[in-house]
Amino acid sequence: MLLKQGRAVFFTLALLAFLSAGQLLAQMNPICRFKKVTIPVTLRINDSLLERGAYDLEFLRANPRSYYLRIMKNGRILHLVQGEEFLYDNSSVMPRKTVLKMSKNTAEKTLTLVMESGTDTVIYAMVRARYSFPYEGE
């Protein structure tokens, strides 16, 4: 009897967790998408490797002000990574159109992607988000 109640509680909690994750994904709004972006190195994302090559990158915003990067290939979602908002300071020049910047730090072996939505973007203007990944090899 106690075992059946434990299972029921477990499945109820699992169902609630699944539904809340679905709500989070449903509330993600696309900011922009870049197609066929060449990643020059093999990235380590969580416990898996993303081989160098061309990928579609979609930048998303979830409330409250959380930014995500969806990495896709051939229409299939490979990874969903949370980034951080990277605020403009007084000396920063804001672009007019959406821009993707990529920089590689060879000393720390990290690849950083910075998405700037620009001032002409209708919904999410002047947003800048940063995503940093460790990479393998050279």
| Domain edges within the chain | 29-136
Per-residue model confidence (pLDDT) at position 15: 57
Q: How far is CA 38 from CA 44, 64, 75, 114, in A?
A: 16, 30, 16, 15
Rounded to whole angstroms, the Cα distance separating 19 from 14 reads: 9
* Residue 105 confidence (pLDDT) above 90: yes
Per-residue confidence band for 22, with pLDDT thresholds at 50, 70 and 90: very low
Give the span between the Cα atoms of 98 and 128, in whole angstroms.
10
The 8-class DSSP code of residue 12 comes to H
Across the chain, what does the average pLDDT equal?
Answer: 84
**Angstrom distance (rounded) from CA 108 to CA 93:** 27
**Prediction pTM value:** 0.75
Q: Judge contact between 81 and 69, C-beta under 8 A.
A: yes
How far apart CA 106 and CA 93 sit, in angstroms, is 26
CA atoms within 13 A on the CB side of 26: 6
Flag whether pLDDT at 7 surpasses 90.
no
